[in-house]
Amino acid sequence: MSLAHPLATGRSAEEINAILSAAKLDKKDLLAVAQEIAFAEGFSGTQYRLVELPKEVAENIRVGNSLVFRGDSSDHAVLCTEQATYEIKEAETSNSLLIFEELAFPEQAQRTSRWSSDSSSASSKSPDSVSNLPIIPITAAGDKLPQDDDGGDAVLRDEEIVVRTIQDIVHSYFELKKITPNLSKIRNVLALTCYKGLGEDDDIPEVEFITLDKLLELIPASEGEITGYLKSIRVMECDGFLRLIDDSYLYRVFTLVNGLVDENSWRIDRIPKSVVIRTLISLEPPIVIEKIFEWFFCKNSEENEDIYCMKEDEICRFYGEVLLMPGGRFNVSEFMKIWQESVPEGLRVNVKQLEGTAVTNSHVTPPVIWYFPEHNLPDVVTDRFAVLFEAKPKWRLEEITPFLQNLPSCQSAGVLLTKFARVNTLNGVKYYSSKHSK
């Protein structure tokens, strides 16, 4: 609905007083301001959208932080704070809501002082007329309209009539629900420009390279969640662009670092970072070696800032992934032996280090293990369970949980298993299987 001109206004105090009398309202109990409602000029009914905010989101706004809508044309739009992502759903209201630029409510209202009957001193009737009048706070003893000049019934004067314009009418609002965003798309986007070493990306068109700002436009998630995911999948920023590191190249560089450790007989908790960079700078870019230390080493708190120690779980996991990625199923005992022999001396491998990356099946002879990364699974819950139970008919809770933690539903693994799986107990151990399996 669009109005070329505002609806006519201009009820006089006499007319309003007559309406009050007809309604049998006690004018002595009314405030000394009447708000006349009219549609704004050019009213269209599509200017505003209401959003119901959770407390934590409202607090974000109060402290001056911004909210951002994200997602490209193929995604459902989400609303993001700096660290969280919220799904947006539209809900209808039972009654239409009128949106005003300004409206006085009883608990907020102030009333004008008594006015002279001299019309020359009166302000014209307009949306700003109340602000032009001398006002005094309403008190418990002063919440009444003034009597007329003859001491008769309480009356409303023309000067005390204010026009309030309706800016919009809304019939629905948006609800927000916190979700775990789908971040697997990031890996797919950055895989097109995977970094494989100096001179290896000359054939990649420049238009394919992605900056952080561009990624924030493409991925429906908060900046904090996106940057956290970038760290987990080992992405570096090179010349302003985000580059996913090729696993084969990363393994090659790490082997150089580990070779230097062996050559100098350094303990795994006493590795001098500056010496490593200075030695290898002629072979590999310093930024790559810096990232190696960020991802696979940590500062030794008992030494100076240049002394680092190896992160056992991260390094063992990486070596395990490199061994499993070529494909196929491996005898578990043989794989564990090869895996242990491949990692740097002093580190101990454990199959738990491969949670969310590999699957073992001990119900076959011999037991086997294979590469099964969580990020390759479907995001739709039912489809994910179908793939999981096709890969392995029976799962223990600790085995399947890593593959259910990053779903957009934000529901715990226990809740999801209750809905989409059935449980059986075998030799005192609970196993989860498909609800439709025999």
> Mean pLDDT highest for which of 48-52, 245-249, 325-329, 404-408?
245-249
User: Does the residue 48 lie in any domain?
Assistant: yes
- How far is the C-alpha of 421 from the C-alpha of 433, rounded, in Å? 6
Tell me the two tokens of residue 222: 């908060």
**Both 293 and 406 in a single domain?**
no
**Both 26 and 150 in a single domain?**
yes
Over range 231-251, report the average pLDDT.
93
- The enclosing H or E element of 313 equals helix 312-324
Residue 403 banded pLDDT, cuts 50, 70, 90: very high
More confident residue, 383 or 305: 383
Checking if the pLDDT of 143 tops 60, the result is no
Total domain count for the chain?
4
Which range of residues forms the domain containing residue 255?
A: 247-310
Q: Cα separations (Å) of 399 from 28, 318, 361, 371, 374?
A: 74, 19, 10, 14, 12
Checking if the pLDDT of 338 tops 70, the result is yes
Tell me the two tokens of residue 127: 């949306």
Phi/psi at 86 (5° precision) = -125, 130
User: Does the residue 95 lie in any domain?
Assistant: yes
At residue 116, the pLDDT reads 32
- How far is the C-alpha of 397 from the C-alpha of 377, rounded, in Å? 18
Contact 146, 114 (CB under 8 A): yes
Lowest mean pLDDT among 158-162, 199-203, 364-368: 158-162
Contact 42, 168 (CB under 8 A): no
What share of the chain has pLDDT > 70, as a percent?
Answer: 83
**Both 44 and 59 in a single domain?**
yes
Over range 176-181, report the average pLDDT.
90
Residue-level length of the chain:
438
Tell me the two tokens of residue 184: 């697997």
Checking if the pLDDT of 171 tops 90, the result is no
- How far is the C-alpha of 89 from the C-alpha of 100, rounded, in Å? 24
DSSP per position, 21-52: HHTT--GGGS-S-EEEEEEPTT--S-S--EEE
User: Does the residue 69 lie in any domain?
Assistant: yes
Residue 182 banded pLDDT, cuts 50, 70, 90: confident
Q: Decide the pairing of beta strands 161-179 and 34-39.
A: parallel
User: Does the residue 28 lie in any domain?
Assistant: yes
**Both 412 and 392 in a single domain?**
yes
With tokens 């706004």, the residue in question is: 61
User: Does the residue 129 lie in any domain?
Assistant: yes
* Amino acid identity, position 241: F
**Both 187 and 266 in a single domain?**
no
Over range 203-225, report the average pLDDT.
90
DSSP per position, 349-392: --GGGGTTTEEEE-SSSS-EEEE--GGGS-SSHHHHHHHHHHH-
User: Does the residue 5 lie in any domain?
Assistant: no
**Both 135 and 251 in a single domain?**
no
Checking if the pLDDT of 123 tops 70, the result is no
**Both 387 and 372 in a single domain?**
yes
Contact 393, 437 (CB under 8 A): yes
More confident residue, 104 or 312: 312
At residue 138, the pLDDT reads 31
Average pLDDT of the chain to the nearest whole number: 83
Residue 302 banded pLDDT, cuts 50, 70, 90: low
Over range 168-187, report the average pLDDT.
89
User: Does the residue 83 lie in any domain?
Assistant: yes
* Cα atoms found within 13 Å of the Cα of residue 242, Cβ hemisphere only: 22
**Both 29 and 108 in a single domain?**
yes
Tell me the two tokens of residue 383: 């489809």
**Both 58 and 24 in a single domain?**
yes
Phi/psi at 149 (5° precision) = -60, -20
Q: Last residue of some domain: 310, 325, 360?
A: 310
Checking if the pLDDT of 388 tops 80, the result is yes
CB atoms within 10 A of CB 183: 21
- The pTM of the full predicted model, rounded to 2 decimals, is 0.74
> 252 in helix, strand or coil?
helix
Checking if the pLDDT of 5 tops 50, the result is no
User: Does the residue 326 lie in any domain?
Assistant: no
Q: Last residue of some domain: 310, 325, 358?
A: 310
* Amino acid identity, position 300: N
For residue range 79-121, list pLDDT tens digits in order. 999 999 999 998 988 888 888 888 877 776 554 433 333 333 3
Phi/psi at 314 (5° precision) = -65, -40
Checking if the pLDDT of 394 tops 70, the result is yes
- How far is the C-alpha of 84 from the C-alpha of 80, rounded, in Å? 6
Question: Which residues lie below 8 Å from residue 305, measured CB to CB, with a gap of 6+?
Answer: 299
Q: Cα separations (Å) of 171 from 78, 203, 223, 315?
A: 21, 54, 32, 56
At residue 327, the pLDDT reads 82
